[in-house]
Structure 1
Amino acid sequence: MNKFLLAVHVLAAIVAVGPVTVAASMFPPSARKALAEPGDAQALSTVRVLHRICRVYATVGVAVPVFGFATAKNMGVLGDTWLIVSIALTALAAVVLAALVLPRQTAIVEGIQRDAGTVSARATARLAMFTGLFNLLWATVTVLMIVRPGSTTGA
């Protein structure tokens, strides 16, 4: 059962978190392009699609910690420091995504659709910063999951 839960956890992370990190990273430069070329329907469409990918896969990403907790419980590692740190960083990444990245993406998309002049370059730069923080948090969690300092599983 451990192998199944771990496989689902890892697959969910790859399938759900991977697209969010890529699409969220692509969003700020795409938004800057759409702002620079207000009449470009393709640029606006790209920004909309990237935002939709982020929203949908963020929702699907809930499966990652769900299967992660189930795996950790079955493996008896819920109290291990590396896992507690990973859980805290995952929660922080979720907050960054839900409170800082997605709402700013929504505001930028709506601003571009209304009047590109209402969105500043500073807004896209700030979004890029929060997106980078989100990606850094997930990269750290991934490293902790691989290295697992103090793990009893021998990896």
Structure 2
Amino acid sequence: MTKLLLSLHVLAALVAVGPVTVAASMFPATLRRTLGDGDGTEARTTLRTLHRICRVYAGIGIAVPLFGFATAGSLGVMGDAWVIVSIVLTVAAAGVLVLLILPAQEDALGEEPGATPLSSTPLAPGRLAMFTGIFNLLWATVTVLMIIRPGSTTGA
């Protein structure tokens, strides 16, 4: 059962987190192109698509920590420091995505009622790129912790 849970955890991470990190990373550069282009119709369509990918796969991404908790419980490592740090970093990454990246993307699209287009501030694409970089760094750190497992007795 542990191998099945671990496989589902890794697959969920690949399928859910991968697309979010790529789409979120592409959004600021596309936003810059949109701001530089007079019409920007094609770039706006791309921005909407990237935002939708981020939103949908963020929802699917809930499976990652669920399978992670099940796997950690099955392995009996819930109290290990690397698991606790991974949980904290995962919560931080989710917070950055839900509280900073997704709302900033919505503002940039100007599709939320009462939204002030992010493009009205010159540093907006750079700020969004920074949020995305932090999100990606948090996930990269979690991934490294999952592979290295500090204090593991498996020798891996």
TM-score, normalised relative to structure 1 = 0.93
AA in 1 matched with 2:39:
G
How many residue pairs were aligned? 153
Structure 1 pair 54/86, CA: closer, same or farther in 2 (3 Å)? Answer: same
Matched residue type, 2:122:
A
Matched AA of 1:109: L
Measure how far apart 1:115 and its partner are: 9.5
1:47 Cα deviation after fit: 0.5
TM-superposed deviation, 1:141: 0.2
Contact 1:38 1:116 survives alignment (8 Å): no
- Match of 1:80? 80
**What is the CA distance between 1:154 and its match in structure 2?**
3.7
Give the C-alpha shift of residue 137 in structure 1: 0.2
Q: Which has the higher helix share?
A: 1
Q: 1:90-105 to 2 correspondence within 5 Å?
A: 90-105=90-105
Q: Indicate whether 1:107 and 2:107 are aligned.
A: yes
Query: Structure 2 counterpart of 1:86, which letter?
Result: S
Assess, with a 3 A threshold, how the Cα gap between structure 1 residues 5 and 68 changes in structure 2: closer, same or farther. Answer: same
Aligned to 2:20: 20
What fraction of aligned residue pairs are identical, expressed as a percent? Answer: 62
> How far is the alpha carbon of 1:116 from its aligned partner?
7.1
Superposition deviation, residue 117 in structure 1: 9.0
User: Aligned residue for 1:132?
Assistant: 133
Q: After the TM superposition, which residues 52-63 of structure 1 pair with which residues of structure 2 at under 5 Å, given as runs?
A: 52-63=52-63
- What residue ranges of structure 1 are gaps of 5+ in the alignment? none
Pairing of 1:31-70 with structure 2 (within 5 A):
31-70=31-70
Provide the C-alpha distance between the structure 1 equivalents of 2:38 and 2:149, rounded to a whole number of angstroms: 48
CA RMSD, Structure 1 to Structure 2 (Å): 1.8
Residue matched to 1:148: 149
Specify whether residues 27 and 52 from structure 1 end up closer, same or farther in structure 2 by C-alpha distance, changes over 3 A only. same
AA in 2 matched with 1:75: L
Partner SS state of residue 78, structure 1: coil
Structure 1 residue 105, shift from structure 2 partner: 0.5
Q: Supply the distance in 1 between the matched residues of 2:116 and 2:35 (Cα, whole angstroms).
A: 9
Counterpart of 1:5?
Answer: 5
Superposed displacement of residue 118, structure 1: 5.1
Q: How much does 1:36 deviate? A: 1.2
Q: Deviations over 1:39-97 (max 9, x none)?
A: 12111100100000000000000000000000000000000001100000000000011
8 Å CA contact 1:19, 1:57 repeated in 2 = yes
Query: Larger relative contact order (C-alpha < 8 A, sep ≥ 6)?
Result: 1
Change (3 A) 1:6 1:103: same
